[in-house]
Amino acid sequence: MLPPRTEALLPRLNARTARRARLAAEHLAPLAGAGPPRAALGALRSALATARGSLRASFLSSPELRQWVHQAEEALAFVAAKGTDRALFERVATGPDLRHLLPAGRLDRAFRGRLRRLGRERLARVIRRLPPIVAGLTGPAERFGPFPLDLDPDGEEARLRGEVHLRFPVPASLRCRPGARIELIAGGIRIVQRGSGARWVPRPTLAGSDIVIARRVRWTRQGLRPGPVVPGLADRLEQALLLVQEAWPEAHREILAHTREIVPLLEAGVVSYSLPERPGTSYINVQGKSRLDLADDLLHETAHHRLHRLEEWTPLHHFDPEAVYYSPWRRSLRPLHGILHAAYTFAFRAELLQRLLSSTAGRRLPSAWMRREVEWEIASLAASLVSLADAARRGLLTPAGSGVRRALARQVRRLARGSVSR
């Protein structure tokens, strides 16, 4: 298994997430004001102080908390606007707000002012999002709120209008009327709204795991929009996961460790993807996908999650806008970060296919096609390793990034020999 080693990395990252969350709450407190915002930060501190064992590990590794910590840190950095203009630009360069921050297409004197205004808007949004994230984790004899709820639809979270997704004590959706609020009480919540009609609906999960299967989302000109549940998808995904388990048990454990939610798409021509800002969530196009296709997608996105987690711990490369290399998978030039992620994730695909070819699980699969795909992946990986070696010679890879490159080179040599490690 390529680095990082999950059993060593996850406990360290969970401890780091706890420290980052506490520090974010400390820095947000003077800016939050009184009332619900201050109470929301108190609820976060309560969850961090009282959650124990597997519940604590699940909380600290949840996509919702990890995304919240990232967004809180980013908002605080925008408000402070410390550092050089170039450093601040690099922080926003890959985000969705760049065109608003640089309306003239270049850095100008008003850049920092626009960045601070955006930071203040983000801070208010970050604090409003906090209560559902920590719901179900309030300590004994404590009570926080009530808090207003964001009941607008959200495509990225696969959430319909009137829905709020909760993860603890079990994954569920809370469906409320406009104006509903929630109060966080010891071990649960209390819904505050006029009239009746609030519903608690369990969210489906893959059997034997806590991986949530969301409703489908679809692409529109206005962005992602939530849609209905995909019938029969749980069975299809469970069969795909079983295929990985039969051929490569360690990869199966990695999927369970790193994937927290699957958001299905039914879109012709759309490839599956994941987002570093929504860690652990895999957006998988399930249209016309076979069991093998879904197994491939599950592992591929898990590999992205693994590498994103390593990047949370330590940077893998130095930013250089002029460092671009040819990607055999995209058939176009890509930044160094894209090449590194592609090589890492497609190495997992090559290994999975090669293991299926040599296992009983792959007997009814298209063996000739799988052999051609393994050969193509090995050739593509070898070409990308040349690019990564060039980046290393130019000092663009950090020591951790060079370690990943060397591990990839070892794996490609082993794949080329046709051997798999057991």
Model pLDDT, residue 169 = 86
- Is residue 98 scored above 60 in pLDDT? yes
Q: List the beta bridge partners of residue 261.
A: 212, 281
Question: Quick check: 422 pLDDT over 50?
Answer: no
Least confident of 101-115, 135-149, 248-262: 101-115
Rounded CA separation 225/217 (Å): 5
Distance CA 201, CA 208 (A): 20
Look at residue 418 and tell me whether its pLDDT is greater than 60.
yes
pLDDT at 95: 65
Q: For residues 302 and 251, what is the distance between their CA atoms, to the nearest angstrom?
A: 9
Cβ(169)–Cβ(138) under 8 Å?
no
- With 90 as the cut, is the pLDDT of residue 340 above it? yes
**Buried b vs exposed e over 363-394: b needs ≥16 C-beta within 10 Å?**
eebeeeebeebbeebbebbbebbebbeebbee
Which of 101, 61, 70 is CA-nearest to residue 85? 101
Write a three-state SS string for 83-106. CCHHHHHHHHCCCCCHHHHCCCCC
What's the pLDDT at 102?
Answer: 74
Q: Tokens 């209560």 sit at which residue?
A: 131
The edge-to-edge listing of strands for the beta sheet with 163-166 is 163-166, 172-175, 199-202
DSSP notation for 5-52: PHHHHHHHHHHHHHHHHHHHHHHHHHHH-SSHHHHHHHHHHHHHHH--
| pLDDT at residue number 74 | 86
Calpha distance 233→186 (Å, rounded): 35
User: CA 65: distance to chain centroid?
Assistant: 11
What confidence tier does 32 reach under pLDDT thresholds 50, 70, 90? confident
- 3 state DSSP class of 315: coil
Q: How crowded is residue 241: how many other Cβ atoms within 10 Å of its Cβ? A: 24
pLDDT in tens, 41-70: 999 999 999 999 999 999 999 999 999 999
The percent of residues in the chain predicted with pLDDT above 70, rounded, is 96
**Do 237 and 298 meet the contact criterion of CB atoms below 8 Å apart?**
yes
Q: Residue 168 above 50 pLDDT?
A: yes
Using the predicted structure, report yes or no on whether residue 100 has a pLDDT greater than 80: no
> What DSSP character marks residue 234?
H
Q: Are 150 and 129 in contact (CB under 8 A)?
A: yes
pTM of this structure: 0.89
Q: What pLDDT digit, counting tens, does each position of 293-315 carry? A: 999 999 999 999 999 999 988 89
The DSSP symbol for 303 reads: H
pLDDT tens readout for residues 174-187: 998 888 899 999 97
